[in-house]
Amino acid sequence: MQKIVTGKVFVLGDNVDTDQIIPAQYLTFNPSIPDEYKQFGKYALSSVPPAQKGLPKGRIPFHTKDEFVSDYTIIVGGRNFGCGSSREHAPVALAAAGIQAVVAEFYARIFFRNCVNGGYLTPFESVDRLCEKVCTGDELRIDVVQGVMHNLTTKEEWRLKPLGEVAPILEAGGLFPFAQKAGIV
């Protein structure tokens, strides 16, 4: 887990489900095979509707058709991010696309745990409704230790909820590396 995450943000709304994050037809790819892992990045967020309530019409694309990695490194979403099926492929797809952190008001618990267990990306919860205060393409800086997100474009900043007991798991790179480091396995 990085102590500072910086980069461009991709903004989403409420109830982004795992079928939108990685559509079911791409679940045949195996993330342990490097050429197939890249495909998860290519198809990440490919089923997000073109417009969501409260967000501008004509969504900016997450990446072009032929890219495997997006220009964005941070996602800011609304409520209930990662709802739907419990597929662990959803955080894998976002990580394969180059996402390092997701900030949402709250998560579907299974998505949150899949992010942490695999050490794929850092899932922050926000105090404020940031998906209405941040624009796709803004440059953000997240201080992971302090739990502060800075919008370098607008010069605003917001507190994020502490990572709490999941921080050491993320620092270790996931649940299994954490358990090995702690001598549990």
Q: What is the pLDDT of residue 52?
A: 54
Using a pLDDT cut of 70, give the percent of the chain over it: 95
- Alpha carbon 8 to its chain's center: 13
How far apart CA 144 and CA 83 sit, in angstroms, is: 24
Token reading at 109: 């618990």
Whether the per-residue pLDDT at 53 is higher than 60: the answer is: no
Give the domain 4-181 fold: Aconitase; domain 4 (3.20.19)
State the distance between the two ends of the chain, measured CA to CA, in whole angstroms. Answer: 21
Per-residue pLDDT reduced to its tens digit, 84-142 = 887 889 999 999 999 999 999 999 999 999 999 999 999 999 999 999 999 999 999 99
What's the whole-number mean pLDDT along residues 143-157? 97
Whether the per-residue pLDDT at 33 is higher than 60: the answer is: yes
How far apart CA 138 and CA 74 sit, in angstroms, is: 10
CB 82 within 8 A of CB 22: no
Q: What is the pLDDT of residue 58?
A: 52
